[in-house]
Amino acid sequence: VRVGAGAYICGEETSMLESLEGKRGTVRAKPPIPAIEGLFGRPTVVNNVLTLATVPVVLADGAKAYQELGVERSRGTQVFQLGGNIAHGGIVETAFGITLRELVEDYGGGTHSGRPVRTVQVGGPLGAYLPTTMFDLPMDYEAFAAAGAMVGHGGLVVFDDSVDMAAQARFAMEFCAEESCGKCTPCRVGSVRGVEVIDKIVAGEHRDENLALLEDLCDLMTDGSLCAMGGLTPMPVRSAIAHFPDDFLGGRRSLEIHPVTTTGVRTEGTA
């Protein structure tokens, strides 16, 4: 078991293999896939730790017992991490099929601030933002994919009604700009352009045209990026726009802005 080499991108399997070889963590083009040509050019199988953690349970109780847990094609259990503005943070391991509402309200106890929950980001920093109207969605891969979201690694970040969703959409693009390995243009440059376009939208500058431009940019990043870093960055952006369009009218904007460059490094000062 290896820990990622201090960079978010090293969670991607080929980037991790590069770092294990003593190189900078950059994504490899696929094919060839690691199972054909992986670590030091040898066939390599890369598994998530969550996958390896299920092996003892399957060996101890049998495949049938494991199959009985979960729903549809999402079988077994998932470790969900409850974080953000939540009364009782921590981890919950339960079978797939539990609803988002049960996790946030029953296990998490609602928000730490005591204010109403407004949204939960599911699946990590590149996961979709889901409004309370979708909290009865079962936690399984197929249901989330159909809803334009992802279970991902099971991380849940809770936000109360004071959150600025335009700022959260901007954060997704800024996060990608800072964490990108820089190998492919859609991710490296697209994320920086995304920050700029969102700033223009919130400022009221040709809002309709820039919203259309942001949608085109999201399409390019989704279809043209080498890995999920750039490919999934549009997910939180699109979900924020779809479920919380009023926040892009500039009413909630209050966060300090940090310009980013095409290298993903913040420039000095603030704007």
pLDDT at position 251: 55
pTM for this model (two decimals)? 0.85
Dist CA 259 CA 264 (whole Å): 10
Nearest Cα neighbor of 140 from 129, 128, 154 is 154
Q: Using the predicted structure, report yes or no on whether residue 252 has a pLDDT greater than 70.
A: no
Cis check for the bond before 32: say yes or no (omega within 30 of 0): yes
**Measured distance CA(246)–CA(259) in Å, rounded:** 24
Average confidence (pLDDT) over 4-29 = 88
pLDDT for position 153 = 87
pLDDT at 260 exceeding the cut of 60: no
- The CATH number for 70-115+128-153, chosen from 3.40.50.300, 3.40.50.1980, 3.10.20.600, 3.40.190.10, is 3.10.20.600
Lowest-confidence pick of 97-106, 179-188, 213-222, 247-256: 247-256
List phi, psi (to 5°) of 122.
-115, 135
Q: Is there a common fold for 70-115+128-153 and 165-249? A: no
Q: What is the pLDDT of residues 35-61, one digit of tens each?
A: 999 999 999 999 988 889 999 999 999
CATH number of 165-249: 1.20.1440.230
Per-domain residue ranges of the chain: 8-41, 70-115+128-153, 165-249
Q: Of 6-20, 79-93, 185-199, where does mean pLDDT reach its minimum?
A: 6-20
Pairwise pLDDT comparison (121 vs 262), residue with the higher score: 121
The pLDDT confidence band at residue 72, using thresholds 50, 70 and 90, is: confident
Amino acid letter, 249: L
Amino acid (one-letter) located at 32: P
Cβ within 8 Å of residue 60, ≥6 positions away:
none
Instruction: Flag whether pLDDT at 255 surpasses 80.
Output: no
**Average pLDDT of the residues in 119-147:** 94
